[in-house]
Amino acid sequence: QVQLVESGGDLVQPGGSLRLSCAASGFPLDSYAIGWFRQAPEKEREGISCIGIGNSNPYYVDSVKGRFTISRDNARNTVYLQMNNLKPEDTAVYYCAAVNFCTDYGPGGTRYWGQGTQVTVSS
């Protein structure tokens, strides 16, 4: 059974850090690019980061550049999103997805979605 499971979401104060994990089962994670998306209340889901199969030139949306880092550990079949200097506007449900490719504008060709993990940034 193909499955992506996110974890690591939590309530954190502004300026804090979290590391989200996206663990895959039922398929080899290194066969796909992996995108991270987020959806805030009453907003559309947006692709915020993407890492290709070869780990080169990861994509970040402007609002998270310099604060978020995407990485993958193929041996653990897991992709991570390190989030530093979190802001209240980062509050959202975060999803990972196996995608066909990363572009200069974000992840594309979504194949499998995770169920999401809640990140809340508040004092």
pLDDT by 10s per residue, the chain, length 123: 889 999 999 999 999 999 999 999 998 888 999 999 999 999 999 999 999 987 777 999 999 999 999 999 989 999 999 999 999 999 999 999 999 999 999 999 999 999 999 999 999
Helix (H, G, I), strand (E, B) or coil at 79: strand
Contacts of 48 (CB under 8 A, 6+ apart): 36, 37, 38, 60, 61, 63, 64, 68, 106
d(CA 62, CA 104): 11
